[in-house]
Structure 1
């Protein structure tokens, strides 16, 4: 098994959001969206620290109330054009992390991800030989059926023979669901990404993979949570 220094949960939660204003504080089943992720991280009991990176005072206050540690994000890392990996690198530098430390990135937009998912994903990462791990799910429709538009006409994105095949006859495919990303500090610093050539997959159901991106996602997540006793 690989040598471990410390394991950190990193929750990126800037205040701005174009599609859903104050998205990370939107209520789902009477609970702010980000609270689901903070509680899952704490409940998993695998982290040396649970860090919330934010530029928002309301998110900071809520995170403190929930016993997460807050890292204030500078304005230049809280813009629409700012990348998540830049906020991770900011965390690494501010906390002076060791190369062998493990960071588990938990985006607050995945309220159906639970502590069992997080622990299983870490076990998969530690038992494998990959440089990183990314949680994935099956897409709703096979990507082989996708089209693009060329000169005003629909054109198959892939070989047109796939269009006439049944989904069960096509290769199984996966898409990142945004719930869990794992890597060591050394890899993140060197690669500036969690997407390495040797990524380990952690497969989650489509139901647990809901990613809050627009208002409809909020409603769908609330329906599932209210009918699924996973948060007590």
Structure 2
């Protein structure tokens, strides 16, 4: 934590903090810059789910809540373990403020989630406001911000990173040229070395933590003793356009999922495509039009190990081909083939098996797998998958289809 911005005791500090520490994630369905932004994936995980997980992994947060007007966001958030508050239309438009959504959410929580059956209202003591458009929220820094407020060392804490950059403003010069650059935090004629410059902190927008009662009075997120929770600069990206989404995907590949053990895939079921996953995506056609495909014996052993571990598996294929069923029977794995709508077929199968979509790994290779990959917790791609599949995968395997990719995934599932 950096030094607070106000050196005196505030009126807000006089009241003891009691009640829940609640993480609130506003997530509207509408977005102009990036359509359906809160459901877009970074590292194969929807942005809203990344925010939920960051809050779940932060110590001293009692409840994680998503405020939304969108049915799909509500379903995805609930599957990830968040409580959902339905935001009314008047608080869901482009001009609605985040503060209005937070105040509404606190009212609903203290009313027992709107009188929801089995829910008793409880006072909210601290609010942790998380923005889903920040895909790399550090859970440890968030927990530290909560600790600062709870220990009465701050009334409001926000995430920022240290920068020694020279800042400029376009315009404002004496020449009347609107494009003229004007120095802001330095003298243009004097360029001190980095070690001789005063650092500044740039707000990231990832999270804000503050006293709930004082927030009700002030109706904005900065009040009283305001402090900075310093975070790494690489975590500061916010998703406002498609290029930023691609940059975030690249960062996710480098830094990985902090909550995941390296290499492990923690799921309760495995679903795979067939062509290009169990096979190398080629076929031999005989004179009668029959097809033969090449499969991996390694995959067969992996499937046997998965079966012995009691983990359900399903082959889900678009192709209506006898070779698909023959391989499935050999593996003793159920198969749905000739499927045009893989997403709906997967939803139906998961519901029948009583398995949450967030607890399923789907292994695919081509664009017809994308709808199914987007609804599961672990979208996985073979090494030679289509670029669009690689971009949306949470895990990219080292092996190609038909060359042990299924076995590789299973070996990552079994230790978890």
Return closer, same or farther for 1:163/1:77 CA change in 2, 3 Å cut-off: farther
Q: Give distance in 2, aligned partners of 1:129 and 1:160.
A: 32
Q: Residue 138 of structure 1 aligns with which residue?
A: 162
Contact 2:166 2:185 in 1 (8 A): no
Find the partner of 2:238 among 211, 216, 230: 211
Contact 2:22 2:126 in 1 (8 A): yes
Q: Give the superposition deviation at 1:100.
A: 6.3
SS of alignment partner, residue 222 of structure 2: coil
Q: Give the superposition deviation at 1:38.
A: 0.8
Q: How is 1:106-145 mapped onto 2 (pairs within 5 angstroms)? A: 106-139=130-163, 141-143=165-167, 145=168
Q: How is 1:50-199 mapped onto 2 (pairs within 5 angstroms)? A: 50-96=64-110, 101-139=125-163, 141-143=165-167, 145-149=168-172, 151-153=176-178, 154-156=180-182, 158=184, 161-162=187-188, 164-166=190-192, 168=194, 169-199=196-226
Find the partner of 1:22 among 18, 32, 36: 36
Q: Give the superposition deviation at 1:140.
A: 7.5
Q: Deviations over 1:149-191 (max 9, x none)?
A: 5532415253772453236233211121011111111111111
Equivalent pairs counted in the alignment come to 231
Contact 1:142 1:173 in 2 (8 A): no
RMSD: 2.4
Does structure 1 residue 202 correspond to structure 2 residue 229? yes
Q: Deviations over 1:23-51 (max 9, x none)?
A: 00111122111111111212335322111
Which is greater in Rg? 2
- Extract unaligned runs of 5+ from structure 1: none
Q: Give distance in 2, aligned partners of 1:163 and 1:223.
A: 38
Q: After alignment, is 199-208 or 159-168 more displaced? A: 159-168
SS of alignment partner, residue 11 of structure 1: strand
Q: Give distance in 2, aligned partners of 1:65 and 1:163.
A: 57
Q: Give the superposition deviation at 1:124.
A: 2.7
Considering Cα pairs closer than 8 Å and 6+ residues apart, tell me whether 1 or 2 has the greater RCO: 1
Return closer, same or farther for 1:88/1:167 CA change in 2, 3 Å cut-off: farther
Q: TM-score, length-normalised on structure 1?
A: 0.89
Q: Deviations over 1:165-219 (max 9, x none)?
A: 2362332111210111111111111111111252111011110122112112211
Q: Deviations over 1:72-118 (max 9, x none)?
A: 00111111111000001111222237776111011111111132222
Q: Give distance in 2, aligned partners of 1:196 and 1:107.
A: 19
